Amino acid sequence: MGELALIADSVSKVYDGNVEILRDVDLEVAKGEMILLWGRNGSGKTTLLNLLGCMDTPTKGRILVDGQDTSRLSQKQLARLRLRQIGYVFQSHNLIEDLTVRENVYLPLRIAKSKNAEQRVKSLLKTFGIDALSRKRPNEISGGESQKAAICRALANNPSVMLADEPTASLDSESCGIVLDAFKMIRENFDTTIVVASHDPLLYDHIEKKYFLFDGRLKTEPKEV
Ligand SMILES: Nc1ncnc2c1ncn2[C@@H]1O[C@H](COP(=O)(O)OP(=O)(O)O)[C@@H](O)[C@H]1O
Ligand SMILES: [Mg+2]
């Protein structure tokens, strides 16, 4: 295995002193790899994504992003890491309704005070085939197109990791195809690592490398799911 973009090292998570949602989870994701986290509702998929994306901290264990032990970082360093190294795509696109597609994709670049932001936005929208929609607002485009715009926004700062939490759950099957195409596009054009959490059978059939969450454990075999 090449360089590792993400490592979960014996990670456990307990909310409010209750049951352990994740128990000693070990995961290694190589640079440029795409994996699926599969598990039913409540199995801890979002919890694990939030830990991998440094939006939450493990009760036990460590998360490493690009080889960096995130437990050693200050809040400020973590915020910087989330902005520059992690892209997040949610179940519903979460675009800002008052902003155009272009402005939505521009936002993380502005926050990061990125140079050549205009150029980056243009090239992303073109790569994903939504440049014609750049001046439209989210309510003027389809669900699949919105999710593509959300993927562009997640990739704006050229993160090393993109985390997608049930990215097709609010879409019809045709739009799901659009999202799958977008993932394929990412793999062909960028070296972004992609972690998808889902229980959508369509994604199951199209993402080769799978991990299964049940009883708080992460397994490589689907038994009992
Ligand atoms: N912030 C939280 N506080 C307390 N319990 C939580 C919190 N977030 C999730 N949970 C619980 O953790 C379990 C796993 O949730 P989640 O990670 O959202 O699963 P999934 O994304 O697979 O549906 C659920 O039982 C849920 O109720
Ligand atoms: Mg979830």
Q: What is the set of domains in the chain, with CATH numbers?
A: 4-218 (3.40.50.300)
Q: What crossing angle do the helices spanning 117-127 and 101-111 adopt, rounded to 10°?
A: 130
By the 8 A CB rule, do 156 and 106 touch? Answer: yes
Backbone φ and ψ for 206, nearest 5 degrees, come out as -110, -10
Half-sphere CA count of 219, side-chain side, radius 13 A: 13
Angle 162-120-185 from CA coordinates, rounded to 5°: 45
pLDDT at 175: 87
Q: How far apart are CA 75 and CA 83, in angstroms?
A: 12
Predicted model pTM: 0.94
Is residue 201 in contact with ligand 1, taking CB distance under 6 Å?
no
Residue 109 DSSP SS3: helix
Encode the chain (225 residues) as per-residue pLDDT tens digits.
Answer: 569 999 999 999 999 877 899 999 999 999 999 999 999 999 999 999 999 999 999 999 999 999 999 999 999 999 999 999 999 999 887 899 999 999 999 999 999 999 999 999 999 999 999 999 999 999 999 999 999 999 999 999 999 999 999 999 988 888 899 999 999 999 989 999 999 999 999 999 999 999 999 999 999 988 754
Residue 99 CB coordination number (10 Å):
14
Q: Which of 11, 12, 14, 15 is the best mutation target for the ligand 1 pocket, counting ligand atoms within 8 Å of the beta carbon and taking the most?
A: 15
pLDDT at 137: 97
Encoded amino acid at 43, one letter: S
Is residue 216 in contact with ligand 1, taking CB distance under 6 Å?
no
Judging by beta carbons within 10 Å of its beta carbon (0-12, 13-18, 19+), is residue 74 exposed, middle or buried? exposed
Backbone φ and ψ for 162, nearest 5 degrees, come out as -115, 130
pLDDT at 1: 52
Encoded amino acid at 97, one letter: E
Distance 15 CA to ligand 1 centre (A): 8
pLDDT at 225: 47
Q: Which residues, other chains included, contact 58 with Cβ-Cβ below 8 Å and sequence gap of 6+?
A: 11, 12, 13, 22, 51, 71
How many helices and strands (H and E) does the chain possess? 7, 10
